[in-house]
Amino acid sequence: MTDEMAMPDFGSLLGQAQAMMAASAEAADEVVEGQSGGGVVKVRVNGRFEFSAVEIDPATVDPTDVPMLEDLVLAALHDATAQIGARQQEALGGLGGLGGLGGLLGG
């Protein structure tokens, strides 16, 4: 057999898959807090993108400028979801991906 046709190490692949599942489960349970406006708006979300809290500093609420408050809430949501994405990448990043397929998929 040539190197291109070598059979993948299925034991290694299984181990990688189990490690990925464990890392994914851990990331799903982690809660992060997104903020905007220097912390005047905060949102909490877990790795399953289930939002659990929104905190708004009362001094931020200006009935004449609702669009600013909407922008701050949206920015806090973006911050929280970006943190979740980064942590999921971090959790899965060191696991070697699918590199152990030994050319099985033609790659």
Q: Does pLDDT of 75 surpass 90?
A: yes
CATH number of 31-97: 3.30.1310.10
pLDDT value of position 61: 92
Structure tokens at 41: 């708006």
Measured between alpha carbons, how far is 85 from 8 in angstroms, rounded to an integer? 30
Tens digit of each residue's pLDDT (9 = 90 or more) over 8-38: 777 887 887 787 777 777 777 889 999 999 9
* pLDDT value of position 28: 79
What letter represents residue 13's amino acid? Answer: L
Indicate the pLDDT class of residue 100, thresholds 50, 70 and 90: very low
In order, the DSSP letters of 8-65 are: P-HHHHHHHHHHHHHHHHHHHH-EEEEEEGGGTEEEEEETT--EEEEEE-GGG--TT-
Contact 15, 95 (CB under 8 A): no
Domain boundary assignment for the chain: 31-97
